[in-house]
A and B are shown apart, each in its own frame.
Chain A
Amino acid sequence: MSGQVVPGIAVHLLCGFLGSGKTTRINTLIRRGELHDALFLVNDFGSLNIDAELIESSEGGVLRLSNGCACCGISGNLSAQLSGVRRWQRPPRQLVFEASGVARPRPLMQLFDAAGGYRLDRVELLVDLSALDNLLRDASVSDIVAAQLGDIDDMLINRWQAMTNAACQEEIRRITEWNSGARLQWLEPLEDSGAPRAGATAVGGPSFPVDAGTELVTRSVGLSGPLDCERLLLLLDAARPVLLRAKGFLRSRDAPEIAQLLQWTPGQARLTVQQGDKPAMLVLIGKGERNLERLAALIETEVTLAGSA
């Protein structure tokens, strides 16, 4: 190698499927002051959600990775980034690597273990417990999720609060089936308001099994009067496995004189005040005719009746 004697940049590898809370975990580590002189390398493809000011205060920087997922790509990019960073005039002491949601951890762990100038210091897997069942049943990603569970022992469990105890226990049983040496740490509710919300089903709330139809359908729901916005958003979130988008105009019970535009996508909801009179109506786009019928009926009965009560 270069012949330099360097202690090596300590690598903190964070894995986990999309929306499992990796970015929030980084922010938490920053806020707790656990990272010093750290560089953040992000191999994800959504919007970057790290608080820039916090990162600035820890004198680090953020690099993005291209050319696809780092664990499997020919990835000149990751290789070149690692080569470049360790040759900086003043390399960082720590590297926090946020892996892509589809990254298989083992190759990455081996990379950081073997690469000159780096040492693997810590590996964590973030698990969105409420989404695990769906992910393991999704043929397009189940093999990857299983590999993540099998490769990493230190698991940080997220989004379990809204689940029943029995449901939690069932998911934990499945995790230990994949990895009998798993060490679990239960995280507090996610704090970042901008972070994607999981499609967790509220206790006692409705569920929308994904196998109740997969065809793409659009359905309109007339809104008879002011409604309970909070309840509406809970219902839409609960329908996340089947609902792709909801948009429309509504009036809330709290401010019935104002028309608002609702734009909901999985993990995000935005209400914008509108000028003038607008038709009170929601358009739902999702999978499965029966699913959307059911959601529409719930909105009509629970939300609008609650709103006018």
Chain B
Amino acid sequence: MAITVYPARHIHTMNPSQPSGGCLAVKDGRVLSLAPLDEIRAFGDVVVDERFADKVLMPGFVEGHSHALEGVIWDYLYLGWFDKVAPDGQQWPGVRDAESIQQRLAENLQRHPSGQPLIAWGFDPIYFAGTRLDKRLLDAVSSEVPIVVMHASLHVMTVNSAVIRAAEIASKRVDGIVRNGAGECSGELQEMPAMHLVFDLYGIDLFEEASRPHALKQYARAARREGITTITDLLNPLSESAIEAMRETTVADDFPVRLVPALNALAWEPEAGSERVRLAMQSNHDKLRFGIVKLVTDGAIQNFTARLMWPGYLEVEGNGVWNAPPETFHHMVQHYHQAGLQLHIHTNGDEAVEIILDALEEALTLWPRPDHRHTLQHVQLIRQNQLYRARALGACLNIFANHIYYWGDIHRTRTLGFDRCQRLEPTASADRLGITFGIHCDAPVTPLSPLFTAHCAHTRQTASGDILGTAETISRARALEAITLGAARTLHMDHCIGSLEPGKWADVAVLDNDPLDPALPLSAVKVHATLLAGVPTR
């Protein structure tokens, strides 16, 4: 097999012994060498491919926490506040006032198939102080064609009068149907009991769609565009059809990423769940890797559903929600730990972190296991003493750095207050303690873009331009490590991805600019291409 050499303007390897290079030599899909060309020739004949000679190469990015739902959601109309890029590369400017929302809906309605509801997503009311999206606003677009606007949280929707009539919403007695003083429906439907009336009427099931090949291909396409070469689907049903769809899709030569799906533990009785993962692992190949298990403990801070310790939420009384009784989490942690599988555990609030640290401590006392790398996901509010416990237990973290930008202003003013925002997403503290950590976007909750995620961890800048907690900023180099080797470690895959060093897969992010150039924000660095196993992806 020939050796292909890609000369580059610069290569950041993430290999501490050989942090930079000028040429990448690839053989059999793996990194052979990063030495000067003359040294590489010692391995044999080479083919020099100059196409990236003026580019900067890095290890392909690893997105350690996102969802294949990202591949579905763009089948619907985007109405979010922030600018976003669809998997097909189309730029979607954010919509920031009622008129813009109406205009975009109206434009879309003109080419919308008749008889179908117009479904939109991404609207985030938290950015619309003073303006409430309601049925009147949507009726002005059309009171005949059913219009459904899913909010960014996916916990709320707003519908127009056509939907209210068709689903007979006015006659139902459900708390989540928002009404005005006269008892008239406003069009806003909160939480599942109210939203079910609409899901049921139109047969909407986004989660089912996310397991299909179309969604997986779209998802991979979106990931590739952002320089990602390994991506997770961190809550997968692992049904037979889902496994088959992933196997069939990833095995194709042109599938441009490696996919790491996690079993949704709460969907399975523990014995059956671990058996299912083992079964799925038989389908593993170079681009598909089963073997991790996801446990979702609490909700989200911006929805006031994360479980918080004292002093709780700033604006709202009461605490968040558990997805299962805490005792169940203990049993699940013990079971999957004992079964030898790796856990990825959603813990947004500090109370959720506490429960899971207790569970990990129990499990490790009963069944000591070196290098388990169970990973606490999100850990937005993890306390300093909890970081020490996490380190002592050998746990890894995957920190939700994007929250600082997208909800940092809201967290300071409405959910958490000043102090906890100084610490929110404490990457620097984790780094100082030597804890293995990655950073992530949780797409479709926030956009896929590891460079932007690194930018958030490096600057801690909110959407309004505020800086939240300079003591928790990390350097560019550490932020870049977190989106490559750090994330790879949390997935137990650092033996084959995460850095460019001999023997690892030649997965590469090709950049137009140098991410270590202090003159250019990390968020402005452009992804030019990716290589998977040394081959440029399409």
Contacts and interface: CB of A to CB of B under 8 A. Distances in A.
Contacts of A115: 193, 196-197, 200
Interface residues of B, number: 58
Contacts, number: 152
A116 B324 contact: no
Interface residues of A, number: 49
Nearest to B177: A114
Interface string A103-124: 0001110110111100000000
Contact of A18 (B200, B206, B208, B325): B325
B355 A140 contact: yes
A5 interface: no
Interface stretch (A63-71, A173-181, A229-237, A298-306): A63-71
B280 interface: no
B415 to A, nearest CB: 17
A102 B200 contact: no
Contacts of B176: 107, 110
Contact of B193 (A69, A114, A218): A114
Nearest to A48: B269
A83 B327 CA distance: 31
Given A46-B331, A114-B172, A141-B326, A83 B199 contact: yes
A54 interface: no
Contacts of A82: 196, 200
Task: Kindly name the residue among A45, A46, A74, A83 whose own CB sees the greatest number of chain B CB atoms within 10 A.
Answer: A45
Given A76-B208, A82-B196, A107-B191, A67 B266 contact: yes
B5 to A, nearest CB: 48
B324 A114 contact: no
A111 B192 contact: yes
A65 B192 CA distance: 14
Contact of A102 (B196, B325, B351, B365): B325
B325 A72 contact: no
A102 B324 contact: yes
Contacts of A140: 307, 322, 326, 351, 355
A78 interface: yes
A45 B324 contact: yes
A225 to B, nearest CB: 27
Interface of B: 154-155, 166-168, 172-176, 191-197, 199-201, 203, 205-208, 235, 237, 264-271, 296, 299, 305, 307, 318-319, 321-328, 331-332, 351, 355, 358, 361-362, 365-366
28 contacts: A18-B325, A19-B327, A44-B328, A45-B266, A46-B331, A47-B270, A48-B269, A64-B267, A66-B268, A67-B266, A68-B266, A68-B296, A76-B199, A76-B206, A77-B267, A79-B199, A79-B200, A82-B200, A102-B323, A102-B325, A107-B191, A107-B193, A110-B173, A110-B174, A114-B193, A114-B194, A115-B197, A140-B355
